[in-house]
């Protein structure tokens, strides 16, 4: 059962809680409500150039914009097709009061040594330098979020689909400043951290380090306190959601105000 709940800081605000196999989350393509003026569209080129001048890699591509959702016994996401450059543009112009509402996935992946966490490279446009659960990434049309999990796991960790199990949806998170909705999920792999570090993958450049967060309650609580704001706010919320799944809502109350 999914229900709306608004709590946590603006960059990692919990919007929905609930649990179901990720493949049971439904999607429906609808028309987009995002309208950019000609003058705003003319700012896309300069926005991309600013990121490139900072040494970040920026490429355009199709994305899904979350227009609305229906919660209840199942979760249905109403999505419109947009361009990744919309997100680049709108993130740099918060004064416009418009958010891209890009849909992404963030997965708390349990390996033999703990929860897989990457330190994002300074070359990436999204969350450079932050710790963040892996895999994660935007949902690109026409993929379903589960297909995105498999694709990102292959790209970021070198994991094949058959090496991942127990993929559950845990809720929905909104990062206000970046304008991104993150569908939080959890998954399991039987591999250990050393094996994952040794896997060749096309997205290895996106990270500078691969570590594990502990999967025991007290150790995880201590780790969350230790890393502080080095962990992305949305990533923290996703980890806390997995903790709540394991140990109950007390964990949520303890770590998400």
Q: Which residues of the chain have pLDDT under 50?
A: none
Q: CA 62, CA 157: separation in Å to the nearest integer?
A: 23
CATH number of the structural domain spanning residue 138 = 3.90.79.10
Total number of domains constituting the chain: 1
What pLDDT score was predicted for residue 55? Answer: 84
Task: Supply the DSSP symbol for 73.
Answer: S
Entry pTM: 0.94
Q: Which residues form the domain of 181?
A: 3-255
What pLDDT score was predicted for residue 4? Answer: 92
What pLDDT score was predicted for residue 52? Answer: 87
């Amino acid at each position: 059962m999914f229900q709306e709940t608004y709590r946590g800081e603006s960059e990692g605000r919990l919007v929905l809680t609930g649990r179901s196999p990720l493949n049971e989350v439904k999607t429906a393509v609808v028309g987009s409500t995002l309208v950019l003026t000609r003058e705003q569209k003319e700012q896309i080129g300069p926005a991309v150039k600013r990121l490139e001048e900072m040494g970040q890699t920026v490429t355009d591509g199709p994305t899904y914009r979350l227009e609305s959702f229906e919660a209840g016994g199942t979760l249905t996401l109403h999505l419109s097709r947009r361009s990744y450059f919309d997100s680049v543009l709108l993130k740099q112009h918060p004064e416009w009061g418009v958010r891209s509402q890009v849909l992404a996935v963030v997965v708390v992946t349990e390996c033999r040594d703990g929860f897989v966490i990457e330190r994002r490279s300074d070359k990436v446009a999204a969350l450079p330098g932050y710790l963040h659960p892996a895999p994660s990434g935007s949902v690109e049309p026409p993929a379903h979020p589960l297909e995105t999990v498999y694709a990102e796991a292959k790209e970021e960790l070198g994991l094949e689909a058959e090496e991942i199990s127990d993929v559950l949806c845990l809720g929905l998170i909104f990062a206000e400043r970046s304008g991104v909705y993150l569908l939080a999920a959890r998954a399991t792999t039987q591999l250990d951290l050393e094996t994952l570090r040794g896997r060749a993958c096309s997205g290895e450049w996106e990270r500078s380090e691969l570590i594990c967060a502990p999967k025991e309650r007290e150790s995880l609580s201590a780790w969350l306190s230790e890393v502080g704001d080095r962990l992305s706010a949305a990533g923290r919320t996703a980890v806390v959601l997995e903790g709540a799944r394991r140990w109950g809502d007390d964990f949520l109350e303890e770590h998400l105000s």
